[in-house]
Amino acid sequence: MTNLIKNINETFLPKIRTRGEKYFKEGRVKNVEISKNFVSAKIKGSETYHVWIAFDEDLLHKRMSCTCPYFEKDNCKHLAALFYYLNANNYFDSANKSPAQKDENSKESDSTEFSIVNNTEMQNDKSYNNLLAEREFKNYFSPLINDTQKLKKPPKTKYDIAYGISSTGYHSEIFPLRLRLRNDGSIADKSRLYNTNYNSIPYKTLEEKLIIDYLTGYGNNSLYLGQYRSKDDLRKQEMFNDILHSFSDKKVYFQFKYSKFESVEVLNEPAECEVTIDENISDLVLKLSIIIEGKKISKPVITILDEPLWVYAENKIFKVNRLKFEQLELFANENFELYISKDYLSLFEKELLPQIVSKLPIVSNKYKIEELNINPVKKLLLEESGAILLLKIKFSYGNIDLPFVEDEKFATLFVDNKIYKIKRDNDFENNAVEEIKNLYVKKISDGVFTPRKDPINFLFEHFPLFKEMGFEILGQESLKKLKINTSKPKVSFNITSGIDWFDVKTEVDFNGTTIPFSELVEQIKQKKKYLKLSDGSAGILPDKWIKKFQQTLSFGELEKDGIRFSKIQALALEAIIDGADDFETDEKFKEHISKLKSFERIMQQSIPRSFKGKLRDYQKFGLDWLYFLKEYSFGGILADDMGLGKTIQSIALLLKEKSQNKKYTNLIVAPTSVVFNWIDEINKFAPSFSVLNHTGIDRERNDTSVFEKYDVVITSYGLLLRDFELLHNYRFHYIILDESQKIKNPVSKTGRVVRKLKSDYRLCLTGTPIENNLTELWSQMAFLNPGLLGSFKNFNDTFVKVIPKEDDQATLKLLRKTIYPFVLRRTKEVVAKDLPEKTEVIHYCEMEKDQERIYTFWKNSIKVEILKEIEMKGIKKSGFKVLEGLLRLRQICNHPVLVDNSYKKQSVKFEEFKMMLTKVISEGHKVLVFSQFVQMLEIMRGYLDKEKFKYELLTGRTRKREEHVKNFKESDDIKIFLISLRAGGFGLNLTEADYVFHYDPWWNPAVEVQATDRTHRIGQDKNVFVYKFITKNTIEEKILQLQKKKQKLVREILSTETSLLKNLTKEDINILFE
């Protein structure tokens, strides 16, 4: 009994206790269930309510709940009834038992989990306990088997939602009310709603549900008036204002200082206010009136919301325009009339009246009031608050500037003892505000905004737009941190010549405001979008000039007051200053540019008499160009198509130099496979030359004096590394790099070593100066003309990263112009029109089922592995996995035995190849067969041996390569030459063949063209037929597609094609494995 008294007395009001006890005695407590210290039941009232109570160890209640409406504001009679029921059934007696007894009870409770209190006999019945356990088991899984879509039985009692507004004059609350309805629809009672069951009330819109949920949230429904505002309070003010606006069509009840709720009307249209200024004998009298729907309201007025001002009066709640809470309070405290002694009239008119008139509408018999009705002009005032830019919208009515005030119909001012009443053009003003609101800004207050992003960027981006919109801009001169200069910059250069350099000074002028050179350089380096000018303002350079200055820094060497360019960079410098507003150059610079531009008018040279042969016209021009480079001490790339005679033109140049009766020694570095070809060509066209073949184990390794005896020293790239110390200690006249793409990697040992060799002049010979990317061009130019393209890092940032990704035509044009004098490239189509026709055929092969099954299995498994690795490590760190996977698929296309030695079926491509080969040989033709895979060449070799075909084989392991080449060229019985693509794809002259078989496609089409040009070159007198064997629906078709996709870059630079393997993206990987 003690626990009951403690629970009941502390929890329920006396009248609630009485009603609860009555409910218990009437037998309204049903279905009581107990689980440990948790009790639930159903109580029969006007309808059935569900109740539960949770107790602590001492059987004192911790929490409880009831589904009745009254419980939302206080503990109800239904819960009290359950307490009386539990007491009558001795539930609370266990609180007085010993700990041992409690433990025993606990065990019993745990074993049964659920018990019905008034059936104590059944609690000890095992079958009954099992029945309860079974029921609990079914209840647990009921969501899986019950129809959750069944409609709940609607409650018998009907409810609706209304809203309550309570005010004490300094504190306001807004909250939802639950209306319990009688059968006839009238309201039985009202209660405050703390949480909502939307199933028990009529349908509400999403907007209204959001309002209800907000107001029932913790701390959201009350606000103190006229006090300091936190950010949360300001947000709450905005919400209250929006909610009050939405109440115009809702049921609303008002309560003042805990009085009864009375129904009120919330008006959608705001009220106006005015202050009447009159005078009596001794005083000025200021009376405040609030006007709603054309009628002055009577007192009292109760404040609901202070900002903006909402009030209650005459059973209405409404917003008041142009009146502040503090102003209302001042008048309300003086019964809405303020008296000012005429002793203070002068002070009042001078200090107070102008401000009062500017804030409140005035009616007066004492002061003349003039009404103005003129068209406004919109203005935008720029102000800064720290690092925040404020955009304040103002409107000029004649000579009077007004801030924006929402829905204000009139503005009043006191000027020269006269009150001006200005009729505002609300539509015009609202449209102007909307224009600014649409510019991604944040509202600070009415008519005041701030950009949501960088303010400097915002001003530059929108300044022209403000003027287009018709805004007059104010306050720009007063800005300090956020000051901008919108003038178009004027860029000028001054160029003076040194011994072998040019000094460049530049100035950027923004309508008289400049930027110091050191600041310009620093800000360009930091890639700042805006320049800080000498007056502290920010100026913006067009993207074109930012890029040009970046390029200037990339090419030039930074000096104290300018940038120094090498003489060799003159054309790059000219391209950079092109488009400047003003530039001055000295005569020396002009002369130098003029000579460089006379590319097509270079002086013709005579062919040395000792040259045994004839130069074609384009080859003769090549000789002239090589001498043009020599005249200026430039290095250059002779980049003619393969087979157009780059070797012959170089030999003619060296002979021309020898004809000057001077003893020169020249160094030629070539791939091992073509060293003997150079020796043959020199012996053929320049037999007067003495040649040292610096290869083999018998070569000189210590004494450079041996070089003095020879006109030409020939070595390979591999031996260049081994014998660097020897070669580095001798100064050669010319160093010529054949197949100079061999030094394409600027950080490779070969690339670094070759740049350290000493010579008077340098040349590169290659049909493919760019195979993979632009870094290869830098590497070759760094050998030929050090400094021409700037440092590798700057070149990489300015060109390599920019051109392919951004398709930047201006940067591309600059690079093309920079290298223009130093690269000579002619194609067969242009200069060797007398070459026999070359016919290319894609020969498709379709796999049979066994080969297709193996291919599909490998493709799917490889794709999963590769994409998984890319996800884990990224595309750059997955290169080896990608290459390995693609390699396997290409091998299967060639012949599955390359990946599976146990494969016994046919390869469709190999069968097609054998058939085509037999046909070509039987017709008496000679054929070059290229494959990347030496293993595939071995399979072909086995077939040729079996069929007793005579052939030659050239791979990277082949010794005495020249003998194999000679045998093929001179023997009519040997009609087949099997060649590894990388070992014999360049440097060979094999015009005896007129058929070329590319057994497998290579990533870089330029490499395939190189290989084809072993036969389609000067000296060929037969039509050439090129067959590419491609397996249908495989990786090989994808390779052809990607070759086309990735050709653009190098074609625009040098009219060659690029490889693609090093530029593969994840998207490309997906394409390859489709």
3-class SS at 884? Answer: helix
Question: 597, 621, 654 — which closes off a domain?
Answer: 597
In a domain, 393, yes or no: yes
Strongest mean pLDDT among 332-336, 483-487, 867-871 = 332-336
Count of Cβ atoms closer than 10 Å to residue 146 Cβ: 11
- Is residue 814 included in any domain, yes or no? yes
- The answer as to whether 389 is a domain residue is yes
Q: How many CA atoms lie within 13 A of 668 on its CB side?
A: 28
* Listed residues 577, 597, 617: the one ending a domain: 597
The verdict on residue 956 lying in a domain is: yes
For 636-680, the pLDDT digits (tens) are: 999 987 778 899 999 999 999 998 878 899 999 998 878 888 998
Q: What is the CA 865 to chain-centroid distance, rounded?
A: 28
CB neighbours (10 Å) of residue 955? 17
Do 261 and 293 belong together in one domain? no
354: left (phi over 0), alpha (psi -120 to 50) or beta: alpha
Give the best-scoring range by mean pLDDT among 425-429, 542-546, 671-675: 425-429
Do 419 and 564 fall within a single domain?
Answer: no
Question: 489, 517, 523, 519: which is closest to 505 by C-alpha?
Answer: 517
Check pLDDT > 70 for residue 320.
yes
* pTM above threshold 0.85: no
Residue type present at position 406: E
Question: Which residues contact residue 263 at a Cβ distance below 8 angstroms, ignoring those fewer than 6 apart?
Answer: 251, 252, 253, 254, 315
Whether 432 and 533 map to the same domain: the answer is no
The 10s digit of each residue's pLDDT in 947-990 is: 999 999 998 888 887 888 889 989 989 999 999 887 776 667 78
Residue 386 lies in a domain: yes
Residues 993 and 844 in one domain: yes
CA distances from 420 to 410, 413, 417, 990 (A): 10, 5, 10, 102
646 inside domain: yes
Per-residue pLDDT tens over the stretch 827-839: 777 776 666 777 8
d(CA 728, CA 731): 8
| Residues 135 and 210 grouped into a single domain | no
Q: Interhelix angle for 587-597 vs 570-577, to 10°?
A: 110
Task: Report whether pLDDT(109) > 80.
Answer: no
Task: Let me know whether 615 and 731 are in one domain.
Answer: yes
Residues 1048 and 982 grouped into a single domain: yes
Terminal Cα distance for the chain, rounded: 81
* CA 929/CA 940 separation, integer angstroms: 10
CATH of the domain at 842: 3.40.50.300
Q: Is residue 883 part of a domain?
A: yes
CA distance 195 to 215: 10
Measured from the Cβ of residue 659, the count of other Cβ atoms closer than 10 Å reads 15
Tokens standing for 352? 């107070």
Q: Is the pLDDT of residue 1048 over 80?
A: no
Q: What is the pLDDT of residue 780?
A: 92
Owning domain of residue 1004: 838-1072
Separation between Cα atoms, residue 821 and residue 575, nearest integer Å: 14
- Pair 957, 935: CB distance under 8 Å: no
Which CATH number do you get for residue 801?
3.40.50.10810
Q: pLDDT-derived band of residue 1001, with 50, 70 and 90 as boundaries?
A: confident
Ordered alpha helix ranges (H), 529-580? 543-555, 570-577
DSSP-assigned states of every residue in 965-987: HHHHHH-SS--EEEEEHHHHSSS
| Other beta carbons within 10 Å of 854 | 17
Q: Which residues lie across from 422 on neighbouring strands?
A: 372, 411
Say yes or no to pLDDT of 525 above 80: no
Any bridge partners for residue 401, and if so which?
A: 396
Residues 533 and 617 in one domain: no
Binned at pLDDT 50, 70 and 90, residue 1047 comes out as low
Domain boundary (419, 453, 482) is at: 482
> Are residues 799 and 664 part of one domain?
yes
* Number of domains the chain is built from: 7
Q: Do 1002 and 910 belong together in one domain?
A: yes
Cβ-based neighbours of 885, under 8 Å, separated by 6 or more: 862, 863, 865, 866
Tell me which of 745 and 643 has the higher pLDDT. Answer: 745
Residue 650 placed within a domain: yes
On the question of pLDDT at 1052 being above 60, the answer is no
- Please check whether residues 931 and 1039 belong to one and the same domain: yes
Instruction: Indicate if 845 and 981 belong to the same structural domain.
Output: yes
